[in-house]
Amino acid sequence: MGKIFIIDVTNRDGVQTANLGLSKLEKTMINIYLNEMGVFQSEFGFPTTKHESHYLKANLELAMIGVLQPIRLGGWIRATVGDVEQTFKLIPEIKHLNISISTSDQMIQGKFRGKKTKDDILKTMVDALDAARSLGAENIGVNAEDASRTDLDFLIEFASAAKLHGADRFRYCDTLGYDNPFTIYDTIKAIAENVGMPIEIHCHGDLGMAVATSIGGAKGAVDGGQDAYINTTVNGIGERAGNADLVATVLAVLKSKSFAEKYQLGQPIDLSKSFKIAKFASYAFGVPVPINQTGVGANAFAHASGIHADGVLKDPHNYELYSYEELGRGEPEFVDTGREICSGEYGGVSGFRHIMGKMEVSFVDAKEAERVLELVRYANVCAQKPLVEDELLFIAKYPDIARKLLTLTPLD
Ligand SMILES: [Zn+2]
């Protein structure tokens, strides 16, 4: 029986969203929180993009020293030999990659403008895949962009070629959110049965169904005898109408009617971190969590009407499908309504020592405090808002890695 795994793509699809972005430290914190939750893989960035280099290397270093373990850190690139070579030139230590190319007739005509045939697409992908393997990639996913508008025969041919050349997974991208749970189920099941390799399901919310199609696709993979890897983002942040929300997707797998009895996660997800990661992503992106967001919205456990309030007080199961404690909610939060000292790019040592002292962090001497403060100033330059406690603690604990993360030197 195949299992369901989560690959979170907040640090790739999330950050490439129009009007939104994350600092390199914020991306690092997302990786840390995803790891704490038990997410299988974080698609942590773009190895061919030069301003990502220091961040990617610093996070791979965090993996090496055990901080980002057991989560896998995977890069996203186009499926071309050029991108593969650039990746291993800039980030030789990278181990996991997804390589992507469009497969639909729409893209072949509308984007490649007749300059690429289907055979060219297969050859480009296979050459990139072979190059990635020979340069040292350990795990490679091959992405069919716009798969939901690609005919099934070509998807099977494409995935079979990827499998023949040693790809570990095939990523089915419902790039435009065109599928529904029924169509994606049929398509993914057919690919799983005909190709026989693990399948990633990457869905968007243009028709409001990103989580539903993800679950439908995962069911198709498992029924077809394969493992499913659902792509999610924190708070569903992603291109246009967004991606499948991480917390909602895991809840749907675990809590929807008769699903978890047959379709199970391959490794446990600690949902008690849900509220924390949702709140952090909201703050970091500067996008409020909608009041009605699944599990983490302000109204997710709020009851006003007489019948519901009475019912939930008698037995929460009357009107709640799962408990707020499961999602890490219910702890009181303290908000300073008086004087506030916060971190900033022009901060000084006295305020900084006050902030760190509140978190019971002390420094051996003034020199060490000044050194960490300097890094905090740089982090503030990038974030343009006060750092959260976990970010300050991270910098204090790993100043050398923070220095690398925060280094943004334009490269040649
Ligand atoms: Zn996407």
In this predicted model, which residue has the larger pLDDT, 113 or 192? 192
Is residue 222 pLDDT above 80, yes or no?
A: yes
Task: Estimate the share of the chain in helix, then strand, then coil, as percent rounded to the nearest 5.
Answer: 50, 15, 40
How long is the chain?
A: 412
CA-nearest of 64, 87, 74 to 39 is 74
Quick one: pLDDT band at residue 411, thresholds 50, 70, 90?
low
Q: How far is the CA of 120 from the centre of ligand 1 (A)?
A: 23
Residue where a domain stops, chosen among 262, 277, 292:
277
Tell me, what's the pLDDT at 114?
82
Q: How far is the CA of 49 from the centre of ligand 1 (A)?
A: 18
Residue where a domain stops, chosen among 257, 277, 297:
277
SS3 state at 101: strand
Is residue 68 pLDDT above 80, yes or no?
A: yes
**DSSP of 145-166, one letter per residue?**
ETGGGS-HHHHHHHHHHHHHTT
Same-domain status, 52 and 170: yes
Q: How far is the CA of 204 from the centre of ligand 1 (A)?
A: 6
User: pTM to 2 decimals?
Assistant: 0.96
Which tens digits make up the pLDDT trace of 133-164? Answer: 999 999 999 999 999 999 999 999 999 999 99
Average pLDDT over residues 214-240: 98
State which residues have CB under 5 angstroms from ligand 1, the bound ion: 13
Residue 285 lies inside a defined structural domain of this protein: no
Residue type for position 229: Y
Q: How far is the CA of 151 from the centre of ligand 1 (A)?
A: 19
Tell me, what's the pLDDT at 275?
98
Q: How far is the CA of 174 from the centre of ligand 1 (A)?
A: 8
Q: How far is the CA of 244 from the centre of ligand 1 (A)?
A: 10
Residue where a domain stops, chosen among 277, 296, 326:
277
Range of the domain at 220: 4-277
Contact 272, 328 (CB under 8 A): yes
Contacts of 368 (CB under 8 A, 6+ apart): none
Q: How many CB atoms lie within 10 A of CB 196?
A: 13
Per-residue CA distances from 399 to 187, 358, 361, 362, 405 (Å): 48, 19, 14, 14, 10
User: What mean pLDDT is reported for the chain?
Assistant: 95
Residue 297 lies inside a defined structural domain of this protein: no
Same-domain status, 74 and 209: yes
Tell me, what's the pLDDT at 391?
97
Which tens digits make up the pLDDT trace of 337-363? Answer: 998 888 899 999 889 999 998 889 888
Q: How far is the CA of 243 from the centre of ligand 1 (A)?
A: 7
Same-domain status, 270 and 359: no
Same-domain status, 377 and 232: no
Work out how many domains the chain is built from and give that number: 2
Residue 316 lies inside a defined structural domain of this protein: no
Average pLDDT over residues 82-106: 96
